[in-house]
Structure 1
Amino acid sequence: MNDVHRLGPTAATPYRDTVLAAWERFVDGEDSVPGVRPEVVVSWHRCREQYRVDPLLRAAPVAVEQIDHTLEHDVVFTELGGLAASVAQDVDNLSGIVTVADATGRILAAWGNHTTLGRASDSNLAPWYCWSECAAGTNGMGTALEGHGPVLVRGAEHWCQAFHNWVCAGIAVRDVVTRAPIAVLNISCWRTALPDATGAWLSQAVATTRRTLRSRARDSGTALVAAFTQARARPGIALAAMDTAGKVVIADETASVLMGVPALTPAIDPTVRWNPGLPDLIGIARYADRQAAHNPDWVGATQVFTHLADEPTPVGVRPVFVSGRMVGSLLSFGVVEGDQVGELEAPARPRVPQGARRRIVALRENRLVLLRPSEVHLAEADGNDVWLSTDEGRLRAASAGLDRLDDDLADAGFLRVHRRYVVNLDRVREVERGDKGELSLVLDSKAGDRVPVSRRNAPGVRRALGI
């Protein structure tokens, strides 16, 4: 750990005092906590409002006994374990420990200073226990599983008071195709600051593992293209190959028009695969993955809305396997053979406790702003950031990535109208049609925001607005 990479401000006494005072107010129900890092405030909000974690929890709960790891996940755990063991001596010298946990926050193994390991066991910071954010509140492992990149949590930034003497930093390893977490690597110290190089070491360790996953994903992309090429021998069928995240690897001329992607242009690498902007495909991909896990011979049939028609198009779904592992599906448009999929599940959303009010979390500097959906006009992507046009002005969304916000608000009257925009349909005042038939939405905001509608999203917008 020789490279310098800071994860956040130094743990100076004034900051510790500010955070502790803010934590006490937030636990008592206040929302204004100036002086606390925004990513910590957002995590606190999840712990208090969404997960209902007891801030007086003394120890992490026992992990659920379930084995659902794939061979690919086992490889990741082994690689991370080797990396953790290699740095164990450095961590021992810091009186710290290093842990590896799975995607649910279950600690699989721990290395490091024996005295610190013993102290950690008092809080169940040890194998067999769960440190997801919904189980143990804001902490390095659990909060890293909620986001991307290294996460530092120090002292009173932990949601649970019993963990305020710990400093920890974690980073998640994510599937390069679905972006779902696979594992998390974490370093923890007792009342001792982590070295500046911690973030760099964590990032480097994950990059090493990610290279393995990306190579495997490229092989899967090649296999999908090969399956597509073989299946094209059947004439008269519009055909596409889709990965397990609902992204297109290759499509023929007809399917490319239906899906709004380039024709016969392979996208082998997972970072450049085509996103057709059809939410139904995500549900199909997940449903096919579950069915194929129980029955490798499963073939399904359903209907999806495409970019050309106002009515759904029949589509057949046939999983593609490599060495017994499903890597994607072949989609045959116009085909109705196979088990009827029926109503597909929407992308999974975090569980909201009964009686909890729907809120959209935004940030104004380091202040948390809680908005009702009706107060938000639109969301606009700006790289990884999302900006909200609201009755309170322009605010940065706490959630990173427009796709996640789109999923969370799909049942609250919001609709993806463009790759950069999600709009509150209740705030649409006018629909403008251009000379070439293109659509724009004018919102009832003070600024009269005007939002373009992409060609591929126009049919869905027309259906939603009844025009």
Structure 2
Amino acid sequence: MAGCSSNLDAYNHQGAEVAQARELFLTTDSIEPDRVRDSIRASWLRSRHWEVAAEGPRLTFVGDLDSENPVSRAAAPIVRQLGDQLVDQPISIILTDAEGVVLARRTGDRALEKHLDAVQLAPGFSYAERLVGTNGIGTALEGRSPAHVFGHEHYASNLENLACAGVPMHHPVTRKIIGVLDLTCWRPDAGPLLMAMARAAAAQIQESLLANEEHRDLALLRGKSSVMAWVGGPKARPVLPVGWFSACGWG
């Protein structure tokens, strides 16, 4: 299977222990540190603080999204190419904005796609941690770093048969988080390649964003290539824009 190893990683092997730890936390607020990763423990605590429904919340549809926003435009060819490589594989490629709202989703397996619809991991819905609890998208945004969440590590029980790897993406100039690239598959199929693929795709999208920014700046520069602005009528003469000498260090 492309991208998802049939050999479960260490966290999947510990699924029963994690499930017990989650049940204990939900009933007593107690967490045995050796059974749960620190990042998951911190996310569970935040999820409880936000009073996320442990059985799985019902989300509100945000609405139709602008498919021409910079993130979607930069990501479209990368998502399409990766989707072509993973065709017929039970892996979903999910793109979100900085609020965790799903902008696009491409899934190579009908059963997985149907399940993602059922848990509202679909375009127009937000998977922010404050709404859904621990998950690859929202937890990556909260932690501002890549997050992989397997099975019972999810706070909501309706996500426990999934595994996800989310990688935050940053604006190439401001470095602000502008979205997440997430890969989601069935929990038994999850392996270390899931995060590796997510990181690679996120990096490609950021490179595409940078190229788009450079192209935009070049277009602006060409539009202003003539420093001289012609003003007046038949006797027009070139004048330098206000502040030109200061900007060049001559004033």
Q: Report the secondary structure of 2:204's partner residue.
A: helix
Q: Among residues 86, 90, 94, which one is paired with 1:95 in the alignment?
A: 90
Q: Report the secondary structure of 1:159's partner residue.
A: coil
Q: Identify the structure with the greater helix proportion.
A: 2
Q: Report the secondary structure of 2:188's partner residue.
A: coil
Q: Report the secondary structure of 1:185's partner residue.
A: strand
**Is the CA contact (8 Å cut-off) linking 1:95 and 1:189 kept in structure 2?**
yes
Q: Report the secondary structure of 1:127's partner residue.
A: coil
Matching residue of 2:54: 55
Matching residue of 1:27: 26
**Is the CA contact (8 Å cut-off) linking 1:77 and 1:183 kept in structure 2?**
no
Q: Which amino acid aligns with 2:137?
A: M
After superposition, the Cα gap between the structure-2 partners of 1:230 and 1:30, relative to the gap in structure 1 and judged at 3 Å, is same
After superposition, the Cα gap between the structure-2 partners of 1:141 and 1:227, relative to the gap in structure 1 and judged at 3 Å, is farther
Q: Identify the structure with the greater strand proportion.
A: 1
* 1:93-120 per-position Cα deviation (integer Å, ceiling 9, x unaligned): 4322111111111112211212211121
Q: How many pairs align?
A: 222
* 1:139-167 per-position Cα deviation (integer Å, ceiling 9, x unaligned): 11111122344321111100111111111
Q: What stretches of structure 1 of length at least 5 have no aligned partner?
A: 235-467
- How many percent identity over aligned positions? 26
Structure number with the bigger relative contact order (C-alpha 8 A, sep ≥ 6) is 2
After superposition, the Cα gap between the structure-2 partners of 1:2 and 1:166, relative to the gap in structure 1 and judged at 3 Å, is closer
After superposition, the Cα gap between the structure-2 partners of 1:3 and 1:160, relative to the gap in structure 1 and judged at 3 Å, is closer
Q: Among residues 126, 132, 149, which one is paired with 2:128 in the alignment?
A: 132
Aligned-pair CA distance for 1:201:
2.0
**Superposition TM-score, scaled by structure 2 size:** 0.74
Q: What stretches of structure 2 of length at least 5 have no aligned partner?
A: 222-242
**2:12 and 2:63 mapped to 1: Cα distance?**
40
Q: Which amino acid aligns with 1:87?
A: L
Q: Among residues 52, 74, 79, which one is paired with 1:79 in the alignment?
A: 74
**Is the CA contact (8 Å cut-off) linking 2:134 and 2:156 kept in structure 1?**
yes
RMSD: 3.4
Q: Which amino acid aligns with 2:47?
A: C
Q: Report the secondary structure of 1:172's partner residue.
A: strand
Q: Which amino acid aligns with 1:161?
A: S
**Is the CA contact (8 Å cut-off) linking 2:97 and 2:179 kept in structure 1?**
yes
After superposition, the Cα gap between the structure-2 partners of 1:82 and 1:212, relative to the gap in structure 1 and judged at 3 Å, is closer
**Superposition TM-score, scaled by structure 1 size:** 0.42
Aligned-pair CA distance for 1:121:
0.9
Aligned-pair CA distance for 1:26:
1.6
Q: Among residues 200, 206, 222, which one is paired with 1:204 in the alignment?
A: 200
* 1:27-55 per-position Cα deviation (integer Å, ceiling 9, x unaligned): 22424322211111111111112x22121
**Is the CA contact (8 Å cut-off) linking 1:81 and 1:100 kept in structure 2?**
no
Q: How does 1:365-376 map to 2 (within 5 A)?
A: none
**Is the CA contact (8 Å cut-off) linking 2:169 and 2:206 kept in structure 1?**
yes
Aligned-pair CA distance for 1:81:
2.6
Q: Which amino acid aligns with 2:75?
A: L
